[in-house]
């Protein structure tokens, strides 16, 4: 029987970030992170061979996308094209809530800095 509902707490991760990879769930052709990023947190510079779309629900994030710095607050969407170096940091004082959508059934990341 197919599972139509998956609890966030059943996804891999911790209280700050949960990961859904479509290939693990009936070959769905999308993956994503559900994030509650504390102030000062965020990944190092990296890229993906596919586009990534960030849906910022609340909080403030500062993105580096290629050579641009972009400050965004809740209720905005940030689009990063394939093979584009990017990173973000929660530059606010509150937890930032966002969903980071990978347009691929499996996440593939090339880390460009430590």
Asked if residue 49 is part of any domain, the answer here is yes
Asked if residue 55 is part of any domain, the answer here is yes
Asked if residue 2 is part of any domain, the answer here is no
> What is the structure's pLDDT at 6?
87
Residues of the chain short of pLDDT 50, as ranges, are none
Dihedral, 104, 107, 113, 114 alpha carbons, nearest 10: 160
> What is the structure's pLDDT at 27?
87
Structural domain including 97 reads 16-111
> What is the structure's pLDDT at 113?
87
> What is the structure's pLDDT at 62?
98
If one counts the domains in the chain, the total is: 1
> What is the structure's pLDDT at 2?
64
Asked if residue 90 is part of any domain, the answer here is yes
Asked if residue 68 is part of any domain, the answer here is yes
Contact (Cβ atoms closer than 8 angstroms) between residue 34 and residue 8? yes
CATH of the domain at 44: 2.60.120.10
Q: pTM of the full predicted structure?
A: 0.92
């Amino acid at each position: 029987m197919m599972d139509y509902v998956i609890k966030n707490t059943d996804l891999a991760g911790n209280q700050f970030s949960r990961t859904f990879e479509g290939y693990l769930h009936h070959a769905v052709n999308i993956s994503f992170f559900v994030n509650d990023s504390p102030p000062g947190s965020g990944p190092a510079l990296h890229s993906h061979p596919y586009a990534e779309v960030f849906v910022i629900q609340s909080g403030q994030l500062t993105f580096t996308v290629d050579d641009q710095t972009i400050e965004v607050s809740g209720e905005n969407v940030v689009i990063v094209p394939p093979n584009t170096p990017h990173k973000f940091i929660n530059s606010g004082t509150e937890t930032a809530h966002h969903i980071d959508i990978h347009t691929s059934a499996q996440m593939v990341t090339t880390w460009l800095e430590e």
